[in-house]
Structure 1
Amino acid sequence: MRSRWFALAALCVAELLVMVDNTIVNVALPTMSRELDAGVSGLQWIVDAYTLVFAGLLLAGGYLGDRFGHRRMLVTGIVGFGAVSVGAAVSTTLGQLIAARAGLGVFAAIVFPATLALIVGTFRDPKERAAAVGVWAATSGVAIAIGPVLGGWLLDHFSWSSVFWVNVPFGLLALIAVVLAVPAPASDDVPVPRFDVLGVLLSIVGLGLLTFTVIEGPDAGWASARTLLGLLGAFVVLGVFVVHQRRTAHPIFDVRLFANRRFAAAAGMVAVAFFALFGFIFLITQYFQAVMGYTPLQAGVRTLPFAAVVAVLSPVAMAAAHRFGPRVVAVFGALAMAGGFSLVELVDASSTYFGLVIWSMVLMAAGLACISGPCTQVIMDALTPEQAGAGSAVNDTTREIGGTLGVAVLGSVLTSVYVAGVSDRLTDLGVPGPVRDAAQQSVMAGVEVSAGAPAGAGEAIRRVVADVFLDGLAQATLVAVGVSLVSAVVGAWALRPVVEDDAEVGEYAETAV
């Protein structure tokens, strides 16, 4: 008999494959900006094309696993992910790369929910399942921090396309591991209800329009008709989606689950944690290269403590949640993340990595470890075994939606501050219009402009670019502080262990099958 723990290892390898791609491109963004002539909006789309499609199709991916078998869909997703990675690697234009990243998101949405559903189906003992879910959650957090390190090493030796070529051998390893170690559960062949096509389309359109509007907000103007109508349209479509899910006999996203406040709070805290994390990684990798002057590898290595802290503290967080309850641990995590982002508010041009930046990352990583595992366990405990695929997709969707909006919102706050600030300050320096326009495209474009200017003027332009970027970074991280504090307050109220809630979960589980 195959060991359950070997199966867990294989599933974590598959999880790593798709989660690393969330952040591996971040250290390559400055290089892509130069070689593909991409501004900040283009860079956001390189990141968000993946996470947006990933998030939009996760519900469908989990539902397909319930219908056709999670192992079968996992294998299909891994093969497709490797194939589309080749397309991303050979892209020659910004549009081609964004399209390929969206294609990767399609297959990631098939892989990711299958990993958690197979873990839930493989580990029947509650204690073993809690430990396995903790390992899965830790892997997710570690993968996000490993991405910049791996990407930095690849860029130090190869072109930016290497961050996609690496998926081919990695995908082959994941495929072999799954085929050898993960048996197909007997429940994989159980028939499931009709597929909710309208629900999938509404979720994709609503989330897509929301993210597109937020990313394009700085360019279009936050008070413009385009932005306001985009936001209104997104909320209307998502509202119709919720109404449809409540009325349909076989919803793809069972919104009734959110009637249980513990489930809703846990999902919300996971979303907020990944909102803050993805947004921060997007910003900090540019800070390392543009302001501190690190190479891609040096920038990536400096995110490594994040992965180490998540790996070490995730099992500790699960043990603490078992001892003190998930409420205490998750609220502590949200406060730790808020503290980490508060330290970023103190960063300026003279700040050193070991003097300040690393400690902010340690606090954020500790917070993520305390939120991810315990809240995932709360989510999965609210589900029946028959809901494993759809339920794990709900859990996964909260992560990806949070991460997608994190890059969109924090990136757009930075862009708004940077574009306005750099234009005004370069005008005051007497910088010609064409040069000023070039510097406005992105912080790395500003660095390139300063490098090409005469010595004295170049140094002045670089100082302006760095200072304005830091102003934008401070404003963006202030948003992250706020959402983390709100998450802590809501979690403290909603995750309290009330006996009535336990009855509510059991009653729902009986009626939802």
Structure 2
Amino acid sequence: MTSGTTAISARPDTAGRRPASTAAILVLACAAQFMVILDVSIVNVALPDMRSALHLGSAGQQWIVNAYTLGFAGLLLLGGRAADLVGAKRVFLGGLAAFTFASLAGGLATGGAWLIAARAVQGVGGAVLAPATLTLIMTTFTEPRARTRAMGAWSAVMAAGGATGAALGGVLTQYAGWRWVFFVNVPLGVVLLAVAALHVPAADAGRGGLRRLDLLGALSVTAGLTALIYGIISTETHSWGSPAVWAALAGGVLLLAAFVAVEAKVAEPLVPLGVLRRRTLATANLVMIFMGAAMFAMWFLLSLHMQQVLGFGALSAGLCFLPGSLSVIVGAQLATRLVPRTGPRPLIVTGMLLAAVGFGWLSRISADGSYATQVLAPLVLCTLGTGLAMMPVTVAATAGAQRAEAGLASGLVNTSRQVGGALGLALLGTVASRTAAAHGGPLPQALAAGYGRALLFAGAFAACSALGALLLPGRGERQEG
């Protein structure tokens, strides 16, 4: 990352800023985003050790993951808007401090409730921090080519964080203990806080930024998304016809309807409804929902297949994802070089079609196969395609956004990714479990059949993402309309 960072030039927004500070801001934004995305997946391979050490039941083990997801997805929009109104520096520092403190608390946990609460605060800190990282990039790199390169680096780091979480979690769990999947964030967070205080300029926040935040809108959309995601996640332990599931989903829909009503009436809404009528922004978020649904499920399903069917340990399974991590980075770097010439649409379509082919290939996994013959090549194809598409989706989502709306646009696209991921995990997990239950054969063969069927559905989501991208304006067309 160092060489790529120093090659980027930018026009500073604040007079008198040292030229070198733009590189420092890019490194800060990328490192903070890496921490946030990493924590979505890093705990997965450590869950059995946590369960044993803290005497958790199966429900408690699930909530170690779910508490982070709910806190993160539910507050992303508020975090994005806060970066616009209060100032990216204040929001960045506040989110990073909360995330770092919660990581320390998680590593020191002596009981399940303590750890789950720490994970929830981590999610809240991540929700505040993640959109602020993209806002810093958009307000620092104003020259189009420099901004594209910076966003390419940010997207590559974001993708690598999600892809390497399992591998790093396996290494830390085996050689240092499960607490280090949390402690690893603490020294990095402290360093980033110090560097940010020195190098990030004070933002030009409007007067009364805190008072101007649409708190009623934030409450309704956060509660609505939380209820909706909770309903989806609860299908892991309840049937889709369960009253508890339907109550959560219906409550989420009603709260989101209330959010729309609030936004239509308040003077300074959290999400001005007019932005949702922008073709590019709306389409890019739809594409991101399908992309998140496919890719979140892929990491989860393949991890289970390698451990439960192929018999790999947590460390071995985590390391097997490294080729996918490298492939994501390669795809993101290719996109960085190509998007100024092609525009986002061709890269998103091409990338997600490659991913769809890879998913179709992965759907042929079996208990008699191996990682080398059935997983490696299609995994690389899926991740290469996703890396090729991810940065252009972010470019499309933020195209035409005013500086004051940078945090809103990034919050929307990040929310779409997380909500799509939660929905995909719930739906495809159900497909996998029901297919395995109906198989009737030995357990490894039944599990492989379930995972294969779910991965085929993931391919359908990737294809839907490619089709949705055709609605984006092409190069030379108007970006909004």
Amino acid corresponding to residue 143 of structure 2 in structure 1: D
Q: 1:413 aligns with which of 431, 456, 476?
A: 431
Query: Aligned letter for 1:479?
Result: F
SS in 2 for 1:502: coil
**Separation in 2, partners of 1:76, 1:401:** 24
Counterpart of 2:175 (choices 157, 170, 178) is 157
8 Å Cα contact 2:290/2:464 also seen in 1 = no
Q: 1:304 to 1:49 in 2, by over 3 A?
A: same
**139-148 vs 266-275, which moves further:** 266-275
Deviates more, 1:86-95 or 1:301-310: 86-95
Equivalence for 1:365: 383
> What's 1:62 paired with?
80
Counterpart-to-counterpart distance in 2, 1:113 and 1:491: 23
Inter-partner Cα distance in structure 2 for 1:371 and 1:471: 29
Give the match for residue 444 of structure 2. 466
Partner of 2:278: 260
Q: What residue number does 2:453 align with? A: 475
Moved more, 39-48 or 206-215: 39-48
Report the Cα offset of residue 191 of structure 1.
Answer: 5.0
- In the TM superposition, 1:221-300 aligns within 5 A as 221-300=239-318
Rounded to whole Å, the distance in 2 between the matches of 1:285 and 1:40 is 18
Distance 2:57 2:321 in 1: 24
Distance 1:151 1:218, change over 3 A: closer
Q: Please name the residue that 2:365 is paired with.
A: 347
Deviates more, 1:407-416 or 1:377-386: 407-416
Which is further off, 39-48 or 73-82? 39-48
- Equivalent residue of 1:202, what SS? helix
Q: How far 1:301 moved relative to its partner? A: 1.1
The answer on whether the counterparts of 1:265 and 1:494 sit within 8 Å (CA) in structure 2 is yes
Task: Pick from 102, 111, 121 the counterpart of residue 139 of structure 2.
Answer: 121
Cα drift, residue 264 of structure 1: 1.1
Residue 214 of structure 1: which of 217, 232, 252 is its match? 232
The equivalent residue for 2:5 is: none
CA distance in 2 between counterparts of 1:98 and 1:151 reads 18
Q: CA deviation at 1:77?
A: 1.6
Alignment of 1:388-407 (within 5 A): 388-407=406-425
Root-mean-square deviation over aligned CA pairs: 2.4
Deviation at 1:162, TM superposition (A): 1.7
Instruction: Write the distance in 2 (CA, Å) between the matches of 1:40 and 1:356.
Output: 31
| Closer/same/farther in 2, CA of residues 470 and 38 from structure 1, 3 Å limit | farther
Cα offset, 1:141, TM superposition:
0.3
Q: Is the 8 A contact 1:196 1:251 kept in 2?
A: yes
Aligned to 1:510: none
Larger Rg, first or second structure (1 or 2)? 1
Q: Any idea what the Cα deviations from partners look like across 1:305-363, whole Å, max 9, x if unmatched?
A: 12211212212113222222211110112212212221221001122212121112212
Structure 2 residue aligned with 1:491: 469
Partner SS state of residue 479, structure 2 = helix
Amino acid at match of 2:452: A
What TM-score do you get using the length of structure 1 for normalisation?
0.84
Q: In 2 relative to 1, CA 276–177 (structure 1 residues): closer, same or farther, beyond 3 Å?
A: farther
Q: What is the letter of the counterpart of residue 490 of structure 1?
A: G
Match of 1:91 among 109, 126, 129: 109
* CA deviation after TM superposition for structure 1 residue 168, in Å: 1.1
The offset of 1:190, in angstroms, is 5.5
| Equivalent residues of 1:68, 1:188 under 8 A apart | yes
Task: Map Cα deviations across residues 219-271 of structure 1 (whole Å, 9 max, x no partner).
Answer: 33222333333323322222222232233221112332221222111122122
Aligned pairs (5 A) from 1:304-319: 304-319=322-337
Letter in 1 for 2:479: D
Stretches of structure 1 that go unaligned for 5 or more consecutive residues are 426-463, 505-513
Query: Residues of 2 paired with 1:138 and 1:345: CA distance?
Result: 26
1:72 aligns with 2:90: yes
- Report 1:152-231 matches (<5 A): 152-185=170-203, 187-188=204-205, 192=209, 194-231=212-249
Structure 2: 5+ residue stretches without partners: 1-17
Matched, 1:502 2:479: yes
The residue aligned with 2:12 is none
User: Please, which moves more after superposition, 472-481 or 38-47?
Assistant: 38-47
Amino acid at match of 2:364: L
- Please say if residues 170 and 314 of structure 2, whose CA atoms lie closer than 8 Å, have aligned partners that are also in contact: yes
Letter in 2 for 1:130: T
Offset at residue 107 of structure 1 (A):
0.6
Letter in 2 for 1:16: F
**1:373 Cα deviation after fit:** 0.7
Equivalent in the alignment of 1:377:
395
